[in-house]
Amino acid sequence: MIHITLPDGSKREFPGPVTVAEVAASIGTGLAKAALAGKVRAEGESADAAKVVDTSFQMTVDSALSIITAKDADGLEVIRHSTAHLLAYAVKELFPDAQVTIGPVIEHGFFYDFSYKRPFTPEDLVAIEKKMTELANKDEPVVRRVLPRDEAVEYFKSIGEQYKAEIIASIPANEDVSLYREGKFEDLCRGPHVPSTGKLKHFKLMKVAGAYWRGDHRNEMLQRIYGTAWATKDELQQHLTMLEEAEKRDHRKLGRELDLFHIDEHSPGTVFWHPKGWTLWQGVEQYMRKVYQDNGYLEVKGPQIIDKSLWEKTGHWDKYRENMFTTESEKRDYALKPMNCPGHILIYKQGIKSYRDLPLRFGEFGQCHRNEPSGGLHGIMRVRAFTQDDGHIFCTEDQIQEEVKAFTTLLQKVYKDFGFTNIIYKLSTRPEKRIGTEESWDRAENALAEGLRASGCDFEYLPGEGAFYGPKIEYTLKDALGRPWQCGTIQVDPNLPERLDAEFVGEDGSRHRPVMLHRAIVGSLERFIGILIEESAGALPAWLAPVQVAVLNITDAQADYARSVAKTLQNQGLRVHLDLRNEKITYKIREHSMQKLPYLVVIGDKEMAAGAVAVRARGGQDLGAMPLESFIERITADIANKSS
């Protein structure tokens, strides 16, 4: 007899080995129809031993079983995995000469790489998606079989799939491999898969891009087709709507339209800031500079180019050199700094430090250079030259908790001022390979956790995700579209002070090593400004907007009054654009509205006669005429409150 334990604790008894599908059918026809897979573990095994399997999987010993449907996260994973195979099936039906390679699940969907004699076109994607729907509607069974490795290699060679044969040949010779067949198409895969193609109903192909075979630029360029798949039609539509909105908010598009910046092929991975964009940059930097000043940070500035001997001491020359820009002068090797921390230690080491000096907080708007692969560059979000709101706190072990609490509270205020209130907190703990004692890791991890708790934060652990020298906290914010952005961090580091011989004189008169806390709030200013642009869809709040108000005259008769209004506003510290062009007022209003300015001030004869202004707020809000003083009160309040 086989006993199957279900999630609610109830047990079912079967006379012999039983499949997941048979258990689902014994519970009810509705569940049998909805079942996509199962999550199984043998009785006595730990919960970690549970594995997701096909509905055809046969349990031969007493087991715990959860039936997976489209409502489960694991079910969605199976749907996406299976849809990748459906894509490959459709491509082989339409383009028999195409060779298939790999097709994994990714966030929100999947991709599959193909080798084909010509590039796939947008029209091809339409035809492939149509064929996928046709094959899904056939509701063909998905059947698994297992072959010895060498037999599988010969099988794929015999049907002309050289890439699959190469993948299988790299597997150890004594291992068997599993294949899945649907209709006339069979593919190498560990599984699991949906029981039949009819379970795949809600998908869409998104784009085609290039990808090197095995990720090596020396290999053939393949074609990667991306798709998305969901459990329901509504979820698919919500995702597509979100993508449409994200496209409208794309910081690269808005950067051009709002004349903020551009990226130029003469300097790939760096940003050319235009006057408006640099005004925005300065708004962020000056705000963060005030944060430094108000919270006990001493601003410093280190050099851009540092001799390789320092990078050898830190370990970067051996482990990170290919990501560094290097140069040579007078037979000495140098590198542009990829991070600011070693420079801060050199500043710390000037003069003897006492325990009374700690915690010592350094901050720098430090420009860093990293030789990122060109394929990974993305607007101002992923660049080769960037500036960080970088800070390093030198402290004792006993001071870590209080510093984490203060930093987290400060970070929450900063994010709120920038309009972000949804923050996710993650604590990365000790990895398998690490330095330091278990006791020191216990103390560091506990200090970070207690610092978060003291700040009123719920957080999740990321076991094993810390650096080899210490744990860290990641602060991830969510934008208006629900997309996560990891920006802030605080990292415990006893390693770099040790490598660079940083010390302080303790209360006992002897020398001790400080702990170094690496911390950033916005992280890369370039990336954070990109996030701000996308979060606001370019309609930046009044305190950050490069132009806060435009003054528009209706006819030349109001030009002098318009100039005096603009001058008065500028004297209040406002960023003003004066538009005296001989254009229709409707044209000027429309043009400046498209620039997403917080306020437009329109001046006609009536306003001039009354010494007033007609005010339009962003979004087409007509606030009517008001005294200039009243408008100044309104906009200065917006700026002070960091609203609008």
Please write the tens of the pLDDT for every residue from 396-448.
Answer: 999 999 999 999 999 999 999 999 988 999 999 999 888 888 898 999 999 99
Predicted confidence at residue 220, as pLDDT, reads 85
Fill in the amino acid letter for 615.
V
Predicted local distance difference test score (pLDDT) of residue 85:
95
| Polymer length of the chain | 644
pLDDT tens by residue, 36-84: 999 999 988 887 788 999 999 999 999 999 999 999 999 999 999 999 9
Helices (H) and strands (E) in the chain, counts: 20, 35
The pLDDT value given to residue 48: 79
Cα distances from 137 to residues 36, 196, 400, in angstroms, run 17, 10, 60
Can you tell me the mean pLDDT for 358-372? 95
Distance (Å, whole) CA 339 – CA 368: 6
Tokens 């096909």 correspond to 54
List, as own/partner pairs, every contact residues 344-350 make where C-beta atoms lie below 8 angstroms and the sequence separation is at least 24, other chains included.
Answer: 344/300, 344/302, 344/390, 344/392, 345/392, 345/496, 345/497, 345/500, 345/502, 345/516, 346/302, 346/310, 346/500, 347/300, 347/302, 348/394, 348/502, 348/514, 349/500, 349/501, 349/502, 349/503
User: Chain centroid to CA 591: how far?
Assistant: 33
CB atoms within 10 A of CB 524: 22
The overall average pLDDT reported for the chain is 93
pTM of the entire structure? 0.82
Share above pLDDT 70 across residues of the chain, in percent, rounded to a whole number: 100
pLDDT exceeds 70 at position 20: yes
Burial 577-591 (b: 16+ CB within 10 A, else e): bbbbeeeeeeebbee
What sign does the dihedral 180-228-19-34 (CA atoms) show? negative
Taking the alpha carbons at both ends of the chain, their separation in whole angstroms is 69
> Quick one: which H or E segment has residue 165?
helix 162-169
SS3 174: coil
Integer Cα distance of 365 and 525 in angstroms: 9
Strand partners, 69: none
Predicted pLDDT at 578: 97
pLDDT at 175: 86
Q: Which of 79, 64, 69 is nearest to 30 (CA)?
A: 69
CA dist 362 and 340 (Å) reads: 11
> Is the per-residue pLDDT at 613 higher than 70?
yes
pLDDT bin (cut points 50, 70, 90) of residue 312 is very high
Q: What is the mean pLDDT of residues 613-624?
A: 94
Tokens found for residue 610: 């009354």
Q: What is the mean pLDDT of residues 145-153?
A: 92
Of 300, 281, 465, the closest CA to residue 386 belongs to 281
Rounded (10°) angle between helices 275-294 and 400-417: 140
CA–CA gap between residue 430 and residue 445 (Å, rounded): 8
Q: Provide CB contacts within 8 A for 40, sequence distance 6+.
A: 20, 50, 51, 53, 57, 59, 63, 64, 65
Of the candidate ranges 23-27, 416-420, 434-438, 512-516, the one whose mean pLDDT is the lowest: 434-438
- Using 50, 70 and 90 to split pLDDT, how confident is the model at 644? low
- The percent of residues in the chain predicted with pLDDT above 90, rounded, is 82
Model confidence at 376, pLDDT cuts 50, 70, 90, reads confident
Q: Is the separation of the CB atoms in 63 and 80 below 8 Å?
A: no
**φ, ψ of residue 147 in degrees (nearest 5):** -130, 150
Burial annotation 59-84 (CB, 10 A radius, 16+ → b, else e): beeebbbbbbbbebebbbbbbbbbbb
Please say whether the beta carbons of 469 and 494 come within 8 A: yes
What per-residue confidence (pLDDT) applies to 252? 94
Count Cα neighbours of 552 within 13 Å in the Cβ-side half-sphere: 23
**Alpha-carbon distance 499 to 83, whole Å?**
50
**pLDDT for residue 375 is more than 70:** yes
Question: Is the pLDDT reported for residue 285 higher than 90?
Answer: yes
Give the CA count within 13 Å in the CB-facing half-sphere of 318. 4
Residue 241 has pLDDT above 80, yes or no: yes
Q: List, by residue number, the catalytic residues.
A: 341, 370, 388, 390, 392, 472, 518
**Backbone phi and psi for residue 241, each to the nearest 5 degrees, phi listed first:** -65, -40
pLDDT score of 623 more than 70: yes
What's the helix, strand, coil split of the chain in %, to 5?
A: 40, 30, 30
Spatial separation of the C-alpha atoms in residues 589 and 592, rounded to whole Å: 5
pLDDT digits (tens, 9 = 90+) for 444-501: 999 999 999 998 899 999 999 998 889 999 999 988 888 888 899 999 999 899 999 9
